[in-house]
A = this chain, B = another copy of it.
């Protein structure tokens, strides 16, 4: 008998899940559509039916728990609260609904927190007690680990480094405020920086032929690899602001390492080098030369599923 958990990553469009053993081997992985016509109850019914079918064809495994990563997931309450990217509005008691179908430990948190736990259990943070994971997707998510435990905060919503202010009265943010880190450092942020650089400079760039809506972080990475100066400058600017602001995060929890994950992290040294440089330049002297900036040790492909699985395993250790 092999003990396994199911890790579920709920995204705006797709839900990915995997059956994962204690060592982090993903035995089976699948993706289904997130949006059901008839709301969350129907979605959970469909999801759990599929899960049960997948388990029934594997009589050698015993399900021990389920971990879920979801936008605006609240660990304390097991709820998904007012997630902008999901069609289910208000406060969804997601764990409670799931428990109608599975009589195992079910635990939920937001996607970046799940990634941090994945990093701790299966990734590059094994053995570390203090570290931060930054997810660079459409926005900037973060998970903070201190004293070997994920920091959830009193309300379950800790770790929103994407919504700390890097520039007073800076860029307009979707959250209604100005100057949030994610307006500069994210797939959307670097697009805005490319457009600002195209406006401010006269440098030639292959990105001058691309509309804002068409432009993607991958296109900027490709342009940078081809030597495009605007694209390279955009990464330098993005990394400089990330480095500057991570110096503030270090002054909070003094992590051993900060891991970068997600679309922009795929640019490798284009983002890592300026981030490292500007972190060091901006650190208080007691922190200098001891904080590592690393790429995530989880494979990009299923990092979110591995994070959700790790969350389930961590819960079972308690």
Measured CB to CB, the residues of A under 8 A from B are: 72, 81-82, 128-131, 144, 146-147, 149, 151-161, 163-168, 175-177, 244, 247-249, 251-256, 282, 284-287, 290
Contact = CB atoms under 8 A, between A and B. Distances in A.
Given A146-B146, A147-B147, A248-B165, A153 B253 contact: yes
Contacts of A248: 164-165, 248
B252 A157 contact: no
Contacts of A146: 146-147, 149, 151, 153, 158
Contact of A153 (B82, B151, B167, B255): B255
Contacts of A155: 254, 286-287, 290
Nearest to A130: B154
**Chain A residues touching B, majority SS:** loop
Contacts of A168: 166-168, 244
Given A164-B247, A165-B247, 15 more contacts: A129-B154, A144-B253, A146-B147, A146-B151, A154-B254, A155-B254, A155-B286, A157-B254, A158-B254, A160-B286, A163-B251, A164-B251, A166-B168, A177-B282, A249-B252
14 contacts: A130-B151, A146-B147, A147-B147, A147-B152, A153-B254, A154-B254, A157-B254, A158-B253, A159-B254, A160-B251, A161-B252, A163-B284, A164-B248, A253-B253
A176 to B, nearest CB: 7
A65 to B, nearest CB: 21
A155 B130 CA distance: 9
Contacts of A147: 146-147, 149, 151-152
A74 to B, nearest CB: 9
Contacts of A256: 154
A197 to B, nearest CB: 19
B252 A253 contact: yes
B165 A153 contact: no
A249 B247 CA distance: 13
A128 to B, nearest CB: 7
A255 B144 CA distance: 14
Q: Which of A160, A167, A282 has the most CB of B within 10 A?
A: A160
